[in-house]
Amino acid sequence: MARYLIESPHTGDECLLVLDWILAQGSMLLTKYEFCCMDEDHTGYLLIEVPSKEDARRLVPPNIRNKARIVELQKFTPEEIRSFHAG
């Protein structure tokens, strides 16, 4: 499983549709999302472990998927960082 950060920007007009879609997927998905909407930054953030980037994309409401930013996260060990310098 890979770990992804999903950033889902949306407009104020799209906000309720986005929230409704996420809720319709189940309350478990809703508990994993964090939103900045009440601070007038209409963006949802999700940290999730799924098999692929395409699986991560499916967790974004269809009407805003084209705006979503999905990045795979990695952790580095001290040895890996030292090897980058030697590379």
User: What does pTM read for this prediction?
Assistant: 0.89
Give the tens place of pLDDT for each residue, 74-86: 999 999 999 999 8
Domain segments of the chain as ranges: 2-86
Does the structure show a pLDDT above 80 at 87?
A: no
**Answer CATH for 2-86 from 1.10.357, 3.30.70, 3.40.50, 3.30.160:** 3.30.70
Give 28-69 pLDDT, tens digit per residue. 999 999 999 999 999 999 999 999 999 999 999 999 999 999
C-alpha–C-alpha distance, residues 80 and 20, integer Å: 43
Q: Are 6 and 69 in contact (CB under 8 A)?
A: yes
